[in-house]
Structure formats: C-alpha cells, structure tokens
DNA sequence: ACCATTTGCCTAACTGCTCTAGGATAGTAC
DNA sequence: GTACTATCCTAGAGCAGTTAGGCAAATGGT
C-alpha cells in the first residue's frame, strides 16, 4: 500500500483550507485525517497535538496576511497607504475567514509570534510615516487602527451589520475617511 | 435524596460564572453538571443542548452589557457620553471576559437578538446625538465606534498590546480622543 | 389523606474527537 | 541484502455531547 505522503506542511495547508470551508472551530484532527484518507493517530507523527496544528495554521495565516498587506502598501503613502492596508486586511479576512480566525488565537510562543506580529506592527508604522506622528502617539494610533480594522471585519463576519440596510461596503469607506481625518488631526492631548 | 434545584436560569448564570473563570470556550455541559453535583444528562431537561446553553449566556451577557452602558451614559452628552459608553463597555469586558466572549457568538435567532442588539445600536445612536450627524453617516459612525471598541478590548485581552511598553490604558484614552475628534469633524465625503 | 400526573434526576449506551502505546511495513543508506 | 528510520497501522483509553427509558420526589385535585 502506497503512503499518503503526509507532512507537517501539507497538513497545515490542508487545515487552513478546511478552516476556510467549515470554520476554524471545526478544524479537527479527525476531519483532517479523513481528508488525507488516513487514520487519526497517523497525524501525531507530524504534529504534536491539536493545539500545535492550530498554532501552525495561525502562523501561516499571519504570514499570508502580512504578505498581502505588504504588497498592497508598497509604493504608497499617506491616505493611499491607509486605504490599501485596510482593504488588503479586510480582503484577506473575507477571502479566508477560517485562516483569519486562526490568526486570532493566543500565541504564547513569543519567538514565533515575534516573527509575524512584528511585521504587522512595522507595516502599520510604515503607513503612519506620512502622518508625522511622534511617539507615543504613533503607538496609540497603531493600536487604534488595528482595533478598528479587526473589530470591523469581525463584526461584519458575525453578521452584526446585517440588520441595517446600509451596505457594509459604504460604512467601511467612510470609516476609512474618518480614520484618515483622525490621523491628520491627531489630538495632542487634553 | 433531595433535588438539586436546577433551573434554566440558574444554569445560565452558573455557565456565565464558569465562563468568566475558565473562558467561554471551556464552558461545557459536563463541567456545569459537575458544578451542580448532577449528572450530565440531567441538564438536558432544562436546556436543549450545549449550543442552546451558550446562546442563553450570550443573551444574558448582552443584556447585562446594555444595562451597564445604559447607566453610564444616562444624563451625559457629547464627549462625556462617548467616554462613559466606551469605559462601561471596556469595563464589562474586563470584569467578565467569559461573558463578553459569549456575547460574540453568532445569534441566528433574530427575534432574541433584536431585543438586546437593538438596545446597543439605540444607545450608540444616543451618543451621536450630540454630534449632529445625518443619516447615513450616523450608521457609519455607529459601526465605526462599535468596531473600535470591540476590536480594542478583543486585542487587549488576547495580549496583542503586551509587546510594547505603552500601557493599554493610555492608548485607550487617546483613541477615545481621536474618536471624539473624528466625530466632531466627520468627513462629508470625497 | 390518597392517587395521578408532572417534573427532576438517574443509569445505560452510542457517537465523535483526542491522544498514547506498540506493531507492521515501506523507503533509504550502506 | 541488512539495518535503520519514517510512515502508517490497530487497539484502546478518556472525555464531551446526546438520546432513551426508568424511578422517585414534588404537586395538585378530590
């Protein structure tokens, strides 16, 4: 009987696809084994346990997201960069809801985290360069942007915006305008 | 043998407490039964299944959150109302992380949802009264505020802000200032 | 006070997912 | 070809969810 050719990488990728299809919460070792035509126990030679598998998907997702955002903001600045970043971010969450959900798991392993999460923070800071914010306002602005983007796509996907006629697309556009304005006139303090 | 006195209400409350202690994801029918000194199967006379239980906790949390926010903004307007709303929201999430997580489950039952979720939207609109935004800008602003609050507390609790020295508290204050400014100078369009 | 009904909780049993231990076999290296 | 290692297996444990069916405590009518 020929081998199925399971590797940690192929498992992670398949788990990511599975997540996008059935939701990250439903990504299970059993389901993954089924997809490979293999018994559950066989997967434990490649991943330590279910949590390990989920972390791998999270790291994959963070890297993909960073790639997409990085491409989008290349060569742009100021408002253009902000919009490009935001749309790339939201686009990834829409195209890959399962992967995006995976990216939100708590990553204790700062070593791995430092890799992908740092890239995100750095890119957000790159956007802000056009707005000339000094520290620590820059850090505050990074957090606000991240919060707004993450909050928006999360609420959008849980259906929180479906009870009003206004298209989510329109509100998104205007939210970005408001963010741009907020960054241009960042309040010194009070 | 005397009865344990289990009711749907007491189950829901106990599940909410359990959620705050061990996390919403770890709220399980078994754990709840254990806490009541009762067998798993006994709970199925009171709640339909595990999902039903979680929805009940979600509804409870939404109502509690709405109460707290409602109290906070009573008698306030403009910036004061915005800050009061935001702090009440964030405070609830901090005091009851499990309940707050529960409130984010997808509520398909629009009937039940309409009850609590409507209150939130209405209250957010109440804040905006001081900023004199016409529709549909008002809807956009509601969504932006909700997104920012939700995104911020979510990221804060998943530890996304712990890799920088800046206290989360400070960034929160300045984010609210920026939101206030954004609402006062809401971009008409472009 | 008695019996019927409802209700609360039980045992028993099945399913699906996680994970460990130990064994068979295919591919690789010499 | 023999030795080794990696891949996959079977077997089986434990735990969470769930259904079915039964007994006993509470309730309420007469």
Residue from B150, B156, B157 whose CB has the most chain A CBs within 10 Å, to mutate: B150
Cα dist. B47→A82, B4, B50, B169 in Å? 47, 16, 8, 39
Q: How far is the CA of A52 from the C1' of C19 (A)?
A: 13
pLDDT for B119: 86
Query: CB of A33 within 8 A of CB of A40?
Result: yes
Distances (CA, A) of A17 to A14, A27, A62, A122: 5, 10, 15, 28
Hey, what are B56's tokens? 């009940």
pLDDT band at B159 (very low <50, low <70, confident <90, very high): confident
- Report the distance separating Cα A94 and Cα A68, nearest Å: 13
pLDDT greater at residue B114 or residue B21: B21
H or E stretch at A59: helix A50-73
Q: Are B103 and B58 in contact (CB under 8 A)?
A: yes
SS3 state at B133: coil
For chain A, the average pLDDT equals 90
User: Which tens digits make up the pLDDT trace of A79-135?
Assistant: 999 999 999 999 999 999 999 999 987 666 555 556 777 888 889 999 999 999 998
Round to a whole number and report the distance in Å from the CA of B42 to the C1' of C10: 8
Q: State the burial class of residue B4 (Cβ atoms within 10 Å of its Cβ: 0-12, 13-18, 19+).
A: exposed
Q: Which nucleotides of C are covered by protein (CB under 7 A)?
A: 7-13, 16-22, 26-27
Average pLDDT of the residues in B61-81: 94
What pLDDT sits at residue B112? 53
CB spacing of A174 vs B140 below 8 angstroms? yes
- CA B50, B54, B55, B60 dihedral sign is positive
CB pairs A-B closer than 8 Å? 144
Domains defined along chain B, listed by start = 8-184 (1.10.357.10)
Average pLDDT over residues A164-184: 96
pLDDT: which is higher, A135 or B174: B174
Answer yes or no: is pLDDT of A24 > 50: yes
Provide the pLDDT for residue A122: 87
Return the pLDDT at A1: 46
Q: Over 70: is that where the pLDDT of A2 sits?
A: no
ipTM score above 0.85: yes
pLDDT band at residue B106, thresholds of 50, 70 and 90? low
The predicted structure's pLDDT at residue A169? 96
| Strand D near-CB residues (< 7 Å), B 33-92 | 40-41, 44, 48-51
Task: Report pLDDT for A38.
Answer: 92
Q: How far is Cα A112 from Cα A93, in angstroms, rounded to an integer?
A: 21
What local confidence, expressed as pLDDT, does residue B155 receive?
Answer: 93
The DSSP result for B85-120, as a single string, is HHHHHHHHHHH-HHHHHHTTS----HHHHHHHHHHH
Q: Are A48 and A119 in contact (CB under 8 A)?
A: no
């Amino acid at each position: 009987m020929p081998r199925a050719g399971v590797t940690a990488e192929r498992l992670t990728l398949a788990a990511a696809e599975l997540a996008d299809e059935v939701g990250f919460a439903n990504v299970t070792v059993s389901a993954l084994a089924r997809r490979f035509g293999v018994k559950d126990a066989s997967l434990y030679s490649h991943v330590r346990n279910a949590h390990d598998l989920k972390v791998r998907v999270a790291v994959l997702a963070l890297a993909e997201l960073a790639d997409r955002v990085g491409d989008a903001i290349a060569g742009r600045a100021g408002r253009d960069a902000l919009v490009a970043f935001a749309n790339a971010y939201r686009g990834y969450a829409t195209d890959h809801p399962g992967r995006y959900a995976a990216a939100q798991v708590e990553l204790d392993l700062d070593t791995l985290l430092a890799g992908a999460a740092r890239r995100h923070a750095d890119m957000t800071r790159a956007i802000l360069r056009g707005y000339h914010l000094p520290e620590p306002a820059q850090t505050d602005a990074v957090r606000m942007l991240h919060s707004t983007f993450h909050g928006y796509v999360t609420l959008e996907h849980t259906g929180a915006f479906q009870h009003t006629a206004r298209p989510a697309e329109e509100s998104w556009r205007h939210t970005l305008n408001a963010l741009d304005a907020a960054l241009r006139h960042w309040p010194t303090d009070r």
